[in-house]
Chains A and B, each alone.
Chain A
Amino acid sequence: MRDARWLAVACLCGVALVWSTPLLWMVVAAFRPQNFGGLSMASLIPDFAPTLDNFAEALDSADFALLYLNTVIVAGGILVVQLVTITLAGYAFARLRFRGREVLFHLFLLQLMIAPPVLIVPNLVTITQLGLYDTLLAAMAPYFASAFGVFLMRQTLRTIPRDFEEAAAMEGANWLQIVTRVLVPLARPGMIAFSIVSIVAHWNEFLWPLMVISNPDNHTLTIGLATFTRGAESASQWGVIAAGTFLVAGPLLLAFALFQRQFVNSFLFSGVK
Chain B
Amino acid sequence: MHRLRTIAAAGALALAFGGAAAAETKIELYFPVPVEGKLASEMRNLMERFNAEHPEIDVTAVYTGSYDETNIKTRAAIKAGRPPAAVIMSANFILEYQINGEIEPLDPLIEASGETPDAWMGRFWPALHGNARFADHVWAAPFHNSTPLVYYNKAHFAEAGLDPEDAPDTWQELVDAAKALTKRDGDRVTRYGFMLPGNYDYLGWIMTALAMSNGGLYYNPDFGGEVYYDQPSMLGALTFVEDLIEKHKVTPAGVTDGKAVSTAFFAGDASMVILSTGSLSFIRENMKEPYGVTFVPRNVRNAVAIGGASLMMPKGLTEEQKAASWTLMNWLTSPEISGHWSRFTGYFAPNREAYDLPEMKTFLAANPDAQVALDQLAYARSWFATFNTVAVRKALEDEVQAVMSDKIQPAEALKAAQAKADEIMAPYVAQTALKLPQ
Q: Which A positions have Cβ atoms within 8 angstroms of B?
A: 36-39, 41, 61, 77, 81, 84, 120-121, 124-125, 127-128, 131-137, 206-207, 210-211, 214-216, 219, 223, 226-238, 240
Contact = CB atoms under 8 A, between A and B. Distances in A.
B59 to A, nearest CB: 12
B80 A121 contact: yes
A233 B35 contact: yes
A81 B2 CA distance: 11
B183 to A, nearest CB: 14
B278 A215 contact: no
Nearest to B44: A216
Given A214-B60, A215-B60, A226-B65, A238 B80 contact: no
Interface in B255-307: 258-259, 261-269, 275-276, 278-279, 282-283, 286, 288, 307
13 contacts: A36-B288, A81-B1, A124-B80, A137-B11, A206-B65, A226-B63, A228-B33, A228-B38, A230-B33, A231-B37, A232-B66, A233-B276, A235-B266
Contacts of B33: 226-228, 230-231
Interface in B16-70: 28, 30, 33-41, 60-67, 69
Interface residues of B, number: 60
Nearest to B278: A233
A227 B40 contact: yes
Which 3 A-B pairs rank lowest in CB-CB distance, beginning with the nearest? A38-B267, A228-B37, A235-B262
A233 B338 CA distance: 19
Interface string B61-92: 11111110100110111011110100000000
Nearest to B61: A216
| Interface residue SS majority, chain B | helix
A180 B275 CA distance: 61
B112 interface: no
Contacts of A131: 12, 15
B278 A234 contact: yes
B266 A36 contact: yes
B337 to A, nearest CB: 20
B394 to A, nearest CB: 15
A234 B69 contact: no
A232 B261 CA distance: 12
Name the residue in B8, B34, B269 with the highest tally of chain A Cβ atoms < 10 Å from its Cβ.
B8
A231 B34 contact: yes
Contacts of A236: 36, 259, 263
Nearest to A215: B60
Interface of B: 1, 4, 7-8, 11-12, 15, 28, 30, 33-41, 60-67, 69, 72-73, 75-77, 79-82, 84, 146, 201-202, 258-259, 261-269, 275-276, 278-279, 282-283, 286, 288, 307
Contacts of B73: 210-211
Contact of B268 (A38, A81, A134): A38
B41 to A, nearest CB: 7
A211 B72 contact: yes
Contacts of A214: 28, 30, 60, 62, 84
A216 B80 contact: no
Name the residue in A77, A131, A232 with the highest tally of chain B Cβ atoms < 10 Å from its Cβ.
A232
Contacts of B265: 235
B286 A235 contact: yes
B40 A36 contact: no
Contacts of B283: 235
A99 to B, nearest CB: 28
A47 to B, nearest CB: 16
Contacts of A84: 1
Nearest to A125: B80
A62 B62 CA distance: 14
Given A36-B267, A121-B80, A233 B69 contact: no
A128 B37 contact: no
Given A228-B40, A234-B35, A137 B259 contact: no
Contact of B65 (A120, A230, A238): A230
A125 to B, nearest CB: 5
A227 B37 contact: yes
A262 B269 CA distance: 47
Given A38-B269, A237-B37, 14 more contacts: A61-B37, A84-B1, A128-B81, A131-B12, A135-B8, A137-B11, A210-B69, A214-B30, A231-B37, A232-B66, A233-B34, A234-B35, A234-B36, A235-B279
